A and B are shown apart, each in its own frame.
Chain A
Amino acid sequence: MNISDSTLKREERAIYDLRKLYEQYGYKKYKMSKFEEYDLYLENKSFLPSQQVITFTDLSGKLMALKPDVTLSIAKNAPSSPKEPEKLYYNENVYRTPHGSNEYKEIMQVGLECIGDIDLYTQCEVVLLACKSLQTLSEDSLMVVSHMGFVSGLLESCGLSRSVEEKVLKCIGHKNAHEVLRLCEATGVSVEMRDTLVALTSLYGNFGETLGRAEELVKNEKMSDSLKALRELAGVLASEPESECMKLDFSVINDLSYYNGLIFQGFIGGVPSAILAGGRYDNLMEKLDKKTQAIGFAVYADQLERCDTELDRFDVDVLLTYETDVDTAKLTAAVKMLTANGRRVRVQKTISEKLRYKQLLRLSDGGLEILETND
């Protein structure tokens, strides 16, 4: 089957391209059921981007949920101490309420998970695949990278109470340096730690170069270990052209109880929020009693709808109108000729008011004539 590029909508094409990319690196497709027992989400509520889950009772009386997330299901079903890595990708719909919305939405998600012993190579491969995924989606893309250990290491050194720590973490996520300052002053954090927190909040720049600035913020072993991990990653990826779009940004944060190491988010031009998100989630595996490590990411393909493409501007390439007395065989031949080079041709007697067309043609006894051309 040969599908012309113009037939597929941007998000549909993206899904095919991404699947091809992941297959190339030996990831296996994982097809899963739409439902999961609700208990899984109840126990891991804060792992989910939104708390609401659509539930129903199945025929045996068990409370079930329409999947709000795929990673949890894959993690749950992974062997507890795998002998070899599980490299999987999926393409599923999930159901949840987007930020600031009061209604459930079906979200098309393509993602990739790697469960097993995550060494430097595996980590680099997943990050590289994330970069490549973004570039598949758009020419104008970038990825922001952070390390949870670096941020949590600094917070540990500040000796804040849990509730203040949560607030500070939220401020770091909003790049809100003035509120970090206020919180530090209100809770008596030392000037040195305060300045470090403020500096961390505003740190942003090209991945390799900015690591040098992050060096100055290191306060303990956990932070220097995290920085070392980031440096190793930067070192390997430096030779890859994809890494040019990588930025260091500690405002990328996620729940500390699930994510522990590297985390990242991807953006493409024209989409106002992250279209890709992922990271290292060994802590989740531990919570699920699995003696293994894991890393993965998801692409929110439905966000691509927001990008305008040439295709969206017109419903058809050619609108062909004809008069009643025209020879049907001639009309059929004209359509055959026009569609032969892949154009989308719509045939009707009258000129449509609703349809957006690139070119308007009319077939009469005199032959084919162009009435209108739009660009």
Chain B
Amino acid sequence: MKQMIRVALPKGRLGESVYKLFDEIGYGCPEILENSRKLIFENEEKGVCYFWVKPSDVAIYVEHGAADVGIAGLDILLEQEPDVFELLDLGLGKCRMVVAGKKGALSGTGKTLRVATKFPNIAKNYYTEQSREIEIIKLNGSIELAPIVHLSDVIVDIVETGKTLKENELEVLEEITGISARMIVNKASFRFKTQQIEEMCDRMRIRIIGDKNGYYQ
């Protein structure tokens, strides 16, 4: 019997474009596009099964083995540091993880820097490398508001176009890293379903880079 590969897709625009890629490389599952209340979509013939989860939960599903494969942003992987394989950079959903704030907000180096963020782990690691004393203020949304109302000096957040920042007279002060979507795989699943997962991964690599073995373009 063919073993099913269970794929956790992140809800939202990124997940939809990732599903299109899966469809193109031969892992389609038409019922996923129907507007239904179903939670799991299976295509037995192709040996694949999908479910939508909150983007920040993808890595949790994969690490705990509820999904074999998942698509997660590098931001989530850096923040949660899940114990999974990261087999492919899909190059989708590109954005940047940055330190932003009002102009000159970083110049006051003589005091503890207050950092508001949804990503406390990333902020902590970034400033630990610089040996800078910081205070992290964990927020769950509307991060840009924090420096405006003096909740924090700077923010650590994802920026796509920078438009929101600009409209609020904030700017990118430092770039921490580029972000894109990654294909992650559970460590036990990789070993038990090696052939199917490697095939899926190879097809995806060819689709996005156009080279079977290559990481080189």
Q: A47: shortest Cβ distance to chain B, in Å?
A: 18
Q: Which of B65, B86, B215 contacts A175 (CB 8 A)?
A: B86
Report the separation of the CA atoms of residues A273 and B191 in the bound assembly, to the nearest whole angstrom.
Answer: 11
Known pairs A100-B83, A174-B85, A175-B85; A142 contacts B215 (CB<8 A): no
Closest chain B residue, CB of each to CB of A205: B194
Q: B193: shortest Cβ distance to chain A, in Å?
A: 10
Closest chain A residue, CB of each to CB of B80: A100
* Binary interface encoding of chain B residues 59-99 relative to chain A, with 1 for a CB under 8 A from any of its CBs, else 0: 01001111000000000000011111111110000000000
Q: Which of B60, B86, B188, B215 contacts A273 (CB 8 A)?
A: B188
**For the complex of A and B, 4 pairs with smallest distance between CB atoms:** A272-B65, A175-B85, A178-B89, A176-B86
Give 21 CB contacts A-B under 8 Å. A100-B82, A140-B192, A142-B192, A174-B85, A174-B86, A175-B86, A175-B185, A176-B85, A177-B87, A178-B89, A198-B215, A204-B194, A249-B191, A251-B85, A267-B188, A271-B188, A272-B64, A272-B186, A273-B65, A273-B83, A273-B188
Contact B63 A100 (CB under 8 A): yes
13 more CB-based (< 8 A) A-B contacts, given A175-B85, A267-B191, A272-B63: A100-B60, A144-B191, A175-B87, A175-B185, A175-B190, A176-B86, A179-B86, A204-B194, A272-B64, A272-B66, A272-B189, A273-B83, A273-B188
Query: Is the CB of B102 closer than 8 A to any CB of chain A?
Result: no
Query: Is the CB of B207 closer than 8 A to any CB of chain A?
Result: no
Known pairs A204-B194, A267-B188, A273-B188; A99 contacts B89 (CB<8 A): no
Query: Is the CB of A188 closer than 8 A to any CB of chain B?
Result: no
Task: Give chain A interface residues in 148-190, CB to chain B under 8 Å.
Answer: 174-179, 181
Total A-B residue pairs with C-beta atoms closer than 8 Å? 58
Report the separation of the CA atoms of residues A174 and B194 in the bound assembly, to the nearest whole angstrom.
Answer: 15
Query: Is the CB of B124 closer than 8 A to any CB of chain A?
Result: no
Neighbouring A residues of B194 by C-beta, 8 Å: 204
Query: Is the CB of B114 closer than 8 A to any CB of chain A?
Result: no
Interface residues of B (CB under 8 A from A): 60, 63-66, 80-89, 185-192, 194, 215-216
Report the separation of the CA atoms of residues A271 and B64 in the bound assembly, to the nearest whole angstrom.
Answer: 9
Report the separation of the CA atoms of residues A134 and B85 in the bound assembly, to the nearest whole angstrom.
Answer: 22
Query: Is the CB of A82 closer than 8 A to any CB of chain B?
Result: no
Q: B8: shortest Cβ distance to chain A, in Å?
A: 13
Q: B208: shortest Cβ distance to chain A, in Å?
A: 11
Interface size on A, as a range, is 20 to 34
Query: Is the CB of A274 closer than 8 A to any CB of chain B?
Result: yes
Query: Is the CB of A247 closer than 8 A to any CB of chain B?
Result: yes
Neighbouring B residues of A198 by C-beta, 8 Å: 215
Closest chain B residue, CB of each to CB of A251: B85
Neighbouring A residues of B186 by C-beta, 8 Å: 272
Q: Which of B87, B89, B188 contacts A272 (CB 8 A)?
A: B188
Report the separation of the CA atoms of residues A179 and B86 in the bound assembly, to the nearest whole angstrom.
Answer: 9
Query: Is the CB of A26 closer than 8 A to any CB of chain B?
Result: no
* Binary interface encoding of chain A residues 222-242 relative to chain B, with 1 for a CB under 8 A from any of its CBs, else 0: 000000000000000000000
Q: A206: shortest Cβ distance to chain B, in Å?
A: 10
Closest chain B residue, CB of each to CB of A181: B215
Known pairs A175-B87, A178-B215; A269 contacts B192 (CB<8 A): yes
Report the separation of the CA atoms of residues A271 and B191 in the bound assembly, to the nearest whole angstrom.
Answer: 12
Report the separation of the CA atoms of residues A142 and B63 in the bound assembly, to the nearest whole angstrom.
Answer: 19
Known pairs A198-B215, A274-B187; A99 contacts B83 (CB<8 A): yes
Q: B124: shortest Cβ distance to chain A, in Å?
A: 15
Report the separation of the CA atoms of residues A81 and B82 in the bound assembly, to the nearest whole angstrom.
Answer: 41
Report the separation of the CA atoms of residues A244 and B97 in the bound assembly, to the nearest whole angstrom.
Answer: 45
Neighbouring B residues of A144 by C-beta, 8 Å: 191
Neighbouring A residues of B215 by C-beta, 8 Å: 177-178, 181, 198
Report the separation of the CA atoms of residues A280 and B84 in the bound assembly, to the nearest whole angstrom.
Answer: 24
Task: Give chain A interface residues in 61-114, CB to chain B under 8 Å.
Answer: 99-100
Contact A142 B86 (CB under 8 A): no
Contact B88 A178 (CB under 8 A): yes
Neighbouring B residues of A99 by C-beta, 8 Å: 83
Neighbouring B residues of A100 by C-beta, 8 Å: 60, 63, 80-83
Q: A230: shortest Cβ distance to chain B, in Å?
A: 18
Closest chain A residue, CB of each to CB of B74: A179
Report the separation of the CA atoms of residues A174 and B185 in the bound assembly, to the nearest whole angstrom.
Answer: 9
Neighbouring A residues of B81 by C-beta, 8 Å: 100
Neighbouring A residues of B188 by C-beta, 8 Å: 267, 271-274
Report the separation of the CA atoms of residues A177 and B87 in the bound assembly, to the nearest whole angstrom.
Answer: 7
Report the separation of the CA atoms of residues A274 and B84 in the bound assembly, to the nearest whole angstrom.
Answer: 12
Report the separation of the CA atoms of residues A290 and B95 in the bound assembly, to the nearest whole angstrom.
Answer: 52
Report the separation of the CA atoms of residues A249 and B64 in the bound assembly, to the nearest whole angstrom.
Answer: 21
Report the separation of the CA atoms of residues A176 and B77 in the bound assembly, to the nearest whole angstrom.
Answer: 12
Q: A52: shortest Cβ distance to chain B, in Å?
A: 16
Q: A26: shortest Cβ distance to chain B, in Å?
A: 31
Report the separation of the CA atoms of residues A333 and B129 in the bound assembly, to the nearest whole angstrom.
Answer: 75
Q: B204: shortest Cβ distance to chain A, in Å?
A: 12
